[in-house]
Structure 1
Amino acid sequence: LQEAASGRLPRKLQVFRPQCQSILTAAAGKLGLKVEATRRTEALKRELNQRASRYQGDYHPTKLEQPPPQALPDYLWGEKWRFATFPAGDLVATFGDRPIPIQDLPASLFPINLGIASTIEVPGVVIYGGRHSLQLARWLQETKPVAINFIPTEVGFSGGLVLEAGLIERWILVTFEDQEVATAGQTFEKRKQASQGLHFLVVQPDDSGMTTTGFWLLK
């Protein structure tokens, strides 16, 4: 938006509405611009919401219709998983310096750039993929993870994890009927609130901690 306001062509165009992607891609191609489909268009969404506030009625310009979540293919899911936390002050330095084959650490989501105190525990999910670890990480890379949400089905007793990905896609990572895990899921969501929504996803072959296959910062 700033580049457009100054009369310069932007380096790329970002679009968060699937319906607009094809027409923008066609127009951008004539200008030699790339189009990136992403939900992370915060400046644009702020501008749209500000304009919408001037009008009466139930109008939400950034709200998108989403399909029901789809089940994750069985052959992709790992051997086990767990909730985890990591201090905000060490998160980027620790995982950013590791030789991780697949990772997504956008600077806009660095805790320091979000103003998150270094002592805040950032929550996350770790999946131990076993022999399918790299295959799962590659699938996630193509799917473009955005966020993981704990969805309770019976508060305090059961629920599941839903992966928000791409522009409108949703995937069921796991479901469970376990009081302890359901309580941990509620804690996961509370910690997300404390970290301004920042959380992470890690894929590792096992729980030895020696190798990490994929890492994503999410929000």
Structure 2
Amino acid sequence: MATLGFNPTKIRIQTFQSHKLISNIISLSKPTKIPLNLSQFSANSPTTRLFRHSSVSKSSVSAPFEAETVDEEDDPTAELSYLDTEVDPESISEWELDFCSRPILDIRGKKIWELLVCDDSLSLQFTKYFPNNVINSLTLKDAIVSISDELGVPLPDKVRFFRSQMQTIIMKACKELGIKPVPSKRCLSLLLWLEERYETVYMRHPGFQKGAKPLLALDNPFPMELPENLFGEKWAFVQLPFSDVQQEVSSLETKFVFGASLDLDLLGIEIDGKTMIPGLAVASSRAKPLAAWMNGLEVCSIEADLTRACLILSVGISTRYVYATYKKTPVTTNEAEAWEAVKKACGGLHFLAIQDDLDSDDCVGFWLLLDLPPPPV
């Protein structure tokens, strides 16, 4: 892989005391030492995280609320049907979908539900309101077909969704249409769009309920034991310059490497190329099979659990694994906390890399990951 080498020339792994370059290779079953350098992340760090979204054009269709006459472009009750005319409809093969209630009451005093659909580039954007008494797989199935017909796009190969409570309805509707449903929190474009709509649409809707809690909150279950096929042999906390991370992301499509990237431009992540991005390197003598197994899990994020002295791997919608453990001491606690602090300073950006050996110049799996707060709805 281009320029990715977990070695001192590319990864600066430093201790807090001496700041000397070291090779810190950690066995999954042994006490860990997790040295990092936080000097580059000062209170005035230039690292920022900005959210950008595609401009949208709203269609004048019926909404479940009678609103005063307003400009269609500024009407929070209007529904949306948008397809970027510069994009080939045949190229949009994966959708992101949310089907859930909103903090809005209709004229009956019942919560309005909304179907929200987009692709990862926001070239396709569709919204439709529903009363709460028609929420079922048939309604969703018909709506998916109507999106395809109305916008002239083929039915997608895959549909990603992030709410476990809607899994039965979404999976049934998709399977009846020959679409592969993918439970995954890697619906970042959808999650950011929901965040934007909360402020620009839902809060301005005449039926908005201030302070209403989400009906279907995201799960955060207790972490489970890691399946045997996902075990690595050694691991290390590492750092990689953001410019090299970008090269790794671009090379995923050109080289036979397992993994997943993020559209950093769409996410509006602005980080200096020299800024070090935290990551986790995992080595295994069976690296390629390990990477292949990981590739089917919809890897979401990695976090250091300071209380349990372990690393938590989040995959799919609500599956959390104890990925590795370390001996809890003041030193390891401080260093794990530092890794989380660096991740926070990078706006939640981090990565997972799988290699044959931690000293190798190449890896067989690379996942760019991002911590995002749960959506406000």
Into which bin does the TM-score normalised by the smaller protein fall?
Answer: 0.7 to 0.9
Q: Distance in 1 between matches of 2:267 and 2:251?
A: 17
Q: Deviations over 1:44-91 (max 9, x none)?
A: 532674437942445035631232101113453222111111111221
Richer in helix (by share): 1
Per-residue deviation, 1:31: 5.9
* Kept in 1: contact 2:237–2:280 (CA 8 A): yes
Per-residue deviation, 1:26: 3.4
Cross-structure match for 1:71? 225
Q: Which residue, 21, 28, 33 being the options, matches 2:167?
A: 21
Alignment coverage as a number of residue pairs: 213
**Structure 1 residue identity aligned to 2:280:** V
**Structure 2 residue identity aligned to 1:102:** F
Per-residue deviation, 1:9: 6.2
**Structure 2 residue identity aligned to 1:198:** L
Q: Distance in 1 between matches of 2:259 and 2:152?
A: 29
Cross-structure match for 1:118? 273
Is there any run of 5+ residues in structure 2 with no aligned partner, and where?
1-116, 118-123, 128-146, 371-377
Q: 1:19 to 1:112 in 2, by over 3 A?
A: closer
* Kept in 1: contact 2:279–2:352 (CA 8 A): yes
**Structure 2 residue identity aligned to 1:152:** L
* Kept in 2: contact 1:149–1:189 (CA 8 A): yes
* Kept in 1: contact 2:164–2:218 (CA 8 A): no
Q: Distance in 2 between matches of 1:78 and 1:28?
A: 35
Aligned pair 1:175/2:325, yes or no?
yes
Cross-structure match for 2:18? none
Q: Distance in 2 between matches of 1:191 and 1:83?
A: 11
Cross-structure match for 1:207? 358
* Percent of aligned pairs sharing the same letter: 25
**1:1-219 counterparts in 2 under 5 A?**
1=117, 3-4=125-126, 7-8=150-151, 12=156, 13-28=159-174, 35-39=181-185, 40=187, 41-46=190-195, 49-50=198-199, 51=202, 54-57=208-211, 59-61=213-215, 63-74=217-228, 76-94=230-248, 96-97=250-251, 99-106=255-262, 108-109=263-264, 113-129=268-284, 131-153=285-307, 159-177=309-327, 178-219=329-370
**Stretch deviating more after TM superposition (182-191 or 53-62):** 53-62
TM-score, normalised with respect to structure 2? 0.49
**Structure 2 residue identity aligned to 1:17:** R
SS at match of 2:342: helix
* Kept in 2: contact 1:76–1:135 (CA 8 A): no
Q: Distance in 2 between matches of 1:102 and 1:152?
A: 29
Q: Distance in 2 between matches of 1:24 and 1:144?
A: 17
**Structure 1 residue identity aligned to 2:283:** Y
**Stretch deviating more after TM superposition (11-20 or 83-92):** 11-20
Q: Distance in 2 between matches of 1:168 and 1:82?
A: 25
For the aligned residue pairs, the C-alpha RMSD in angstroms reads: 3.0
Q: Distance in 1 between matches of 2:249 and 2:197?
A: 35
Q: Distance in 2 between matches of 1:111 and 1:210?
A: 30
**Stretch deviating more after TM superposition (190-199 or 206-215):** 206-215
Per-residue deviation, 1:18: 2.1
Q: 1:81 to 1:197 in 2, by over 3 A?
A: same
SS at match of 1:82: strand
Is there any run of 5+ residues in structure 1 with no aligned partner, and where?
none
Larger radius of gyration: 2
Q: 1:48 to 1:215 in 2, by over 3 A?
A: same
Per-residue deviation, 1:37: 2.7
Q: 1:132 to 1:180 in 2, by over 3 A?
A: farther
SS at match of 2:309: strand
* Kept in 1: contact 2:305–2:311 (CA 8 A): yes
Q: 1:34 to 1:139 in 2, by over 3 A?
A: closer
**Structure 1 residue identity aligned to 2:369:** L
Q: 1:14 to 1:49 in 2, by over 3 A?
A: farther
Per-residue deviation, 1:114: 1.6
Per-residue deviation, 1:208: 2.3
* Kept in 2: contact 1:48–1:61 (CA 8 A): no
Q: Distance in 2 between matches of 1:217 and 1:167?
A: 17
Q: 1:62 to 1:120 in 2, by over 3 A?
A: farther
**Structure 2 residue identity aligned to 1:101:** V
Per-residue deviation, 1:168: 0.5
* Kept in 1: contact 2:184–2:315 (CA 8 A): no
SS at match of 1:3: strand
